[in-house]
Amino acid sequence: ASPKYKFLRDENLQASRHLPDALIIGVKKSGTRALLEFIKLHPNVQAPSSEMHFFDKNYVRGLSWYRNQMPLTLEGQMTMKKTPSYFVTKRVPSRVKKMNPYVKLIVVVRDPVTRAISDYTQSSSKKPEYLRKSFADLFYINGTNVVNTRWGIVRIGLYARYLDTWLKYFPLSQFIFISGETLIVDPAAEMKRLQDFLGLKVIITEKHFYFNTTKGFPCLMKSETLASPHCLGKNKGRIHPKIDESILDRLTQFYRPFNLKFYQMTGIDFGW
């Protein structure tokens, strides 16, 4: 090729870093990692796995620092990041809006009751003090039967409340709500919705998934880095402890009005 031709080709293929076009903002323990790993398969998406907590913990470093942390992207590729704590962190929406008022916001949600147990299971595996206290001990305010809404694990499931805050900054049309339950039983369906929402050609389909009966979850035929079939790590899809039926009923009742409000706000009945 002539030098000029080469120059033009390099220009066209020049990679650069840019601020995220889309953020997976939550909700913790709803399937956010699975969604990120799945969307990474798309050739027009660059989505690093690391969570850098820019908008909640590293904001003082500034947007140019944040941009420098982004992966290199080619023309036509979008940048995506995931930080599940953003959904429930009050100071985040206004900061995100300052970065880009048109950013696309992805929220994975799951039955808040199962989400709470998943969160508790994760916390017990990380923090030894949890092992001394049962779910019931933490769930009720000392010796009463009043639900302890100050316990983060309960509070995070109040989706309507957090969405309300986000909607003060972004219109509903900028959000997509992914069902954590559907993501398990029919990942291709949720991935189609996501690709449509992001304006991407639908490339991730049934062909990318198989159901691994040992894991009990859908796994990938291949990914960005691995050409062979594989599942998410063992910290995704943990075995949950058995929680007393009466607590589960109480938790279900407790979330009911908040769930209904959330269905109303999003226009989606998630069936919890």
Residue type, 169: Y
Residue of 247, 107, 250 whose CA lies nearest to 166 = 107
Range 84-113, binding ligand A3P (CB under 6 A): 84
Instruction: Examine residue 218 and tell whether it contacts ligand A3P (CB under 6 A).
Output: yes
Range 170-189, binding ligand A3P (CB under 6 A): 183-184
Per CB under 6 A, which region of 57-65, 99-107, 138-146, 236-244 contacts ligand A3P?
Answer: 236-244
CB nearer ligand A3P, residue 193 or residue 236: 236
Per CB under 6 A, which region of 148-156, 222-230, 234-242, 260-268 contacts ligand A3P?
Answer: 234-242
The two beta strands, 45-46 and 78-82, are parallel
Question: Distances in Å between the alpha carbon of 106 and those of 78, 87, 161, 181, 267?
Answer: 14, 10, 17, 15, 15
- In angstroms, rounded to a whole number, what is the distance separating the alpha carbons of residues 70 and 145? 47
CB nearer ligand A3P, residue 107 or residue 231: 231
Q: Which of 17, 18, 230, 236 binds ligand A3P (CB under 6 A)?
A: 236
* Cβ proximity of 34 and 96 under 8 Å: no
Minimum CB separation of residue 184 from ligand A3P in Å reads 5
Name, in order, each residue with C-beta under 8 angstroms of 105's C-beta and a sequence gap of 6 or more. 22, 23, 25, 96, 166, 170, 174, 175, 176
CB nearer ligand A3P, residue 55 or residue 217: 217
CB nearer ligand A3P, residue 104 or residue 208: 208
Instruction: Examine residue 34 and tell whether it contacts ligand A3P (CB under 6 A).
Output: yes
Residue of 96, 90, 134, 92 whose CA lies nearest to 19 = 96
Q: Binding residues for ligand A3P, per CB under 6 A? A: 28-34, 84, 118, 121, 183-184, 217-218, 231-232, 236-238
